[in-house]
Amino acid sequence: MADYVAILKKALGKHGDETPEKRTRIYASVRTMLAKKLEEYSPPPAAEAIATQMRSLEDAIASVERDYAKSLPETDPLAELEHIFSSIDRNKNQPSHTRQPAKAESAWPAPPAAKPESYQPAPPPAAKVEPSWQRATPAPSQPARADTPLPGMDA
């Protein structure tokens, strides 16, 4: 029986990048490779022997993944937020973190008081003559008629 844990660790070390996606691809390729190797045996092994080998590989993959899970520090996003909020609470009474009192002054000067004026109706609008932007259409010119009949035409 092969030492699948050592084979997997060697394959992972060879590729260097140990992201979960990369490990998943490596595991898939090792599964495929093992299935091909088992099919190439002559005479082919019993189905029970193939299942045992595949189960051993899956156990080795689970073992390697547990090792990776142990080596990664447990980061809890909620714990990180709690740390941030507690540091804010600790520092809120420090001189550099105290709020400055708000000024009561307005940012804009007050507008002058409006004087009431007597009502005067607006003057009626003067009639405007606007220039025409269109050209005047020329009158159709009529050809001059000759009083003499043209040859070949009987009037």
Instruction: Look at residue 99 and give its three-state secondary structure.
Output: coil
Non-local CB neighbours of 63 within 8 Å, separated by 6+ positions: 5
Instruction: Look at residue 81 and give its three-state secondary structure.
Output: helix
Prediction pTM value? 0.45
pLDDT at site 4: 86
Say how far apart CA 82 and CA 80 lie, in whole Å.
5
Q: What is the pLDDT along the chain (155 residues), one digit of tens a residue?
A: 578 888 888 888 887 767 888 889 988 998 999 999 988 988 888 989 999 999 999 999 999 888 887 766 666 667 777 777 777 777 676 666 556 666 666 667 766 677 777 777 777 777 666 666 666 666 666 665 656 666 776 65
Say how far apart CA 63 and CA 68 lie, in whole Å.
9
Q: How far is CA 37 from CA 1, 18, 57, 136, in A?
A: 13, 26, 13, 97
